Amino acid sequence: MNRAGRRRDRRGRKAGQAARRRELISRSVHSAEQCLRDRDYGTAYAHFLLVLSLAPELKEDFKETFQYALFKWAEELYALNRSEDMFNCYEQALELFPSDDVICNSMGEQLFRLGFRDEAAGYFYKAVKLNPNSADAKENFYRVANWLVERWHFVMLNDVKRNLMFKKAIENAVHAGCKTVLDIGTGTGILSMFAKSAGAPYVYACELSKTMFDLACEVVAANHMEGKIRLLHMKSHDLRVPKHIPEKVSLVVTETVDAGLFGEGIVETLIHAWKNLLLEPKPKDGSCDRYGRVIPAGAVVYGMVVECPEIRRHHRVFVSEVAGVNIEGAVQFSSPVHCCHKSSEVNEPYATEKMSRVSGGYKSLSQPFLALTVDFNSLEDLESIAAGKSCRISVLAQEQGQLDCFITWFVLHLDEEHNLSTGPSEETCWEQAVFPIQNLPADGYTVNRGDTVVLDVHCPDCYLRLDLVTVIRAGDGDMSSDGTSLENEADLCDALAGLHTTHQKDSEQELCILEPSEIAMLNNVIYHENFKTAISKVLSSLDPGQNGSFRNESPAASPEDPLYILDVTEGFSILPLIAAQLGRVKSYSSVEEKQHYVALERLLERNCVSKDSLEFWLNQLDANDDVLQRPKSDKLWSIIILDVIEPCGLIRQEVMEKCAIARCLLQSGGKIFPQCVVIHGLLVESNTLLQESAVQGTEPTLGFTIAPSINQFKVPVHVFLNLSTLPCVPLSDPVELLRLDLMNPYSNHCSLATEVKVKICKSGLVTAIPFWYHLHLVEDIHLDTSSAMSHWKQAAFVLEEPLRVEEGKEILLGVHFQNSNVTMTLKEPS
């Protein structure tokens, strides 16, 4: 065959191939569509995958059908517990459509519901970046943005004093000769940029969070320093010289400290750095010109004995009777925040609180005492802390009060000249560490002037801990006239050394560890009494003795039949017990944890309530059953208690979605509690909320451009607010914003919008709209989520654009409610 012939032949073969390809594609499309009609989504998905890899030009045409097949198939795989296969499908789909926000968002949703929150957050973020107008992706992103970039980053970056101190200390070190700098836990890169601007020729930075690392790269580039700072996405412990950084450094800067100083692992981090990453420390005789040092150079931790009702009610169950239920004795309720019992897996070492903003305030019962000092430039010092050495301290009570907690704060000594304090009365962005005191006998919490509080300070597992040892009553020892103890401290400590007054729990008692919000709920007597009254009212309206007509629809019912009550509160709740005590009731608890279940059983016994009147609902259901079902195949519920508000102050979306089902499961005259949720709010000017929501321009960050990058992670709704202590100026009275009627089958809770006229009572700049809820149980009984004893915190919508308003004028507040998310807008009435 000549050359031309061979070419013709090749062309012919190619034409044949193309024809066969077209044939295959069209057959696959046909099969895929047939499978879709047959609802065989797995096969449909496989066919589409083949089609689109063979014919990428068809991607746009088939995008939506392909997505449909993917989502349907993913649902099936999820239901079959084949999540691995499901994620593989998503990954294949994203290879085909790498910039498709819908697939990206859906992948995030699947990850989220399987508990992979960080990964989910990454996909939601990507989806929003791909399509900033996607409402679904934005809503999902807002729910998780806090996991990606914690809110304190905004607060810290807005803290000019802190930024200036670090800047000056770093400048001093660089000017004194530190040429190689390593920034451990760089966050947005600000400390590295300080070092570079101060003239350090070699700056390295590491950051373990992927999101923060990406952000740091963006920030460094925005400040024209790319290539001048070497950024590493690594934990400092994994850094090797010369693999990652070419030589040991002369300066480590780090702010890997939390409210309890050591909680971000600074002790281990610096032990590793001194052994591997830093030049030798400066010798005593100063004979060496190349040595390593750390900013901050050290820290001093201070403590104080504090009375604080707000901390008490979140960490200690102090009521003995709740709406007729005796909760004393049978169960020992404890907070998960470190206390003396042994179940250490549930222990958190401390809580954190900005004491200046605690609702109801606090009272210092002692002077500040020195709890611990640490020299970050001494490997020996760091190692002795890591070894968990303990120190016993005696503190004199200067005021009479309740021994609710110890608090600690610290002064960071950046260098000889620059200090930062995180103290409770300081103008600072920092919170304090709180060590609640619990499990003392009921009369053991009162301290009097002159009493001595003895505590141990130590760092087992490198978390700071303060443990109460004992209280020496003033009467027990010799007191001088001014109330100070005459004994010297060393003698006292010796005398106490052998004394162990850990408060063993009564072996009769069952231990039940509750979240702080669950403890606050249990302490809220009014909450439970309101429920009790409301339940009684509904029950008596259903009682055939009082209203003979109510059960006409269910002929099988007789006066002996119990009334059924279901409580689907998240976590621990004694409402079913309160209901069971009302008689002729069968109540169902939906507690999931064994300890909750055991605690309820013990309380049932203690209160002599018949065992038959309380059941555990989840025991009656199969693993895959929906929680909302009839109590029995021929019975309906009289009351269903839904937990519609999260402790953080947001509406629980999944619960709102269940209302329609719940209504269908009610007998005639039965009720959902709450029957109605009313959102209340007011307009405020609050600089604090602005500071916590976004970096305010380049000024706080000393001229560096950080705001545009990190502000991509800002969210419109703030949660966990203490409205009563939020620094703000109210510009209007509280108003009713929106009413959600859970009993009305015709109202649509998925999407609602209203406009409310608001009278301005003070001129100012509206920056935010805090909101809370009234939960209506029966006509005249409601719960207020902003009340002083509430276990709920409040939320606030922060406006994108603050609006100036004039006293006496009216303003229109638009409230949009979609999938349980609230959006608000302000405008002048036309």
Residues at the site binding ligand 44T, with contacts judged by CB under 6 A:
152, 155-156, 184-185, 187, 206-209, 212, 235-237, 255-256, 258-259, 264-265, 269, 429-431
Of 54 and 208, nearer to ligand 44T (C-beta) is: 208
Q: Which residues contact 823 (CB under 8 A, 6 or more apart)?
A: 716, 797, 815, 816, 817
Q: Within the chain, what is the greatest distance between any pair of CA atoms?
A: 122
- Is residue 73 a contact partner of residue 49, using CB atoms and an 8 Å limit? no
CB count in 10 Å sphere of residue 153:
17
- Is the Cβ of residue 72 or residue 235 nearer to ligand 44T in the bound state? 235
- The CB-of-196 to ligand 44T minimum distance in angstroms stands at 18
Which C-beta is closer to ligand 44T: that of 136 or that of 258? 258
Tokens of 145: 């943005």
| Closer residue to ligand 44T in complex, CB, 434/641 | 434
CA atoms within 13 A on the CB side of 155: 12
3-state SS class at 51:
helix
- Nearest distance in Å: CB 124, ligand 44T: 20
Nearest distance in Å: CB 169, ligand 44T? 17
Question: Closest approach of Cβ 102 to ligand 44T, in Å?
Answer: 31
Q: Which residue is nearest to ligand 44T (CB)?
A: 185
Q: Quick one: 110 or 686, whose CB is closer to ligand 44T?
A: 686
CA torsion, ordered 699, 234, 129, 222, to nearest 10 deg: 40
Mapped onto helix, strand or coil, the DSSP state of residue 251 is strand
Q: For residue 307, what are the β-bridge partners?
A: 363
146 or 763, CB closer to ligand 44T?
146
Taking the complex as a whole, how short is the minimal distance between the CB of residue 344 and ligand 44T, in angstroms?
A: 23
DSSP assigned state of 718: E
CA distance 347 to 435: 12
d(CA 205, CA 216): 9
Minimum Å distance from CB 438 to ligand 44T?
Answer: 23
Question: 706 burial class (0-12, 13-18, 19+ CB within 10 angstroms)?
Answer: buried
Minimum distance, C-beta of residue 138 to ligand 44T, in the bound complex (Å): 24
Work out how close the CB of 296 gets to ligand 44T at its nearest, in angstroms, rounded to a whole number: 12
Smaller CB separation from ligand 44T, 179 or 237: 237
Could you identify the residue written with the tokens 């709209």?
769
Task: Provide the angle, in degrees to the nearest 10, between the axes of the packed helices 101-113 and 59-79.
Answer: 10
- The smaller minimum CB distance to ligand 44T, of residues 31 and 180, is found at 180
Phi and psi angles of residue 352, each rounded to the nearest 5 degrees, phi first: -125, 150
Q: How far is the CB of 192 from ligand 44T (least distance, A)?
A: 12
Q: What is the DSSP string of 665-717?
A: TEEEEEEEESSEEEEEE--EE-HHHHHHHS--SSTTTTT---HHHHGGG--SE
Q: How many residues does the chain have?
A: 830
Nearer to ligand 44T, 205 or 513 (CB): 205
CB of 152 to ligand 44T, least distance (A): 4
Instruction: Tell me the two tokens of residue 431.
Output: 């919170």
| CB 473 within 8 Å of CB 451 | yes
**Coil, helix or strand at residue 216:** helix
Residue with Cβ nearer ligand 44T (426 or 487): 426
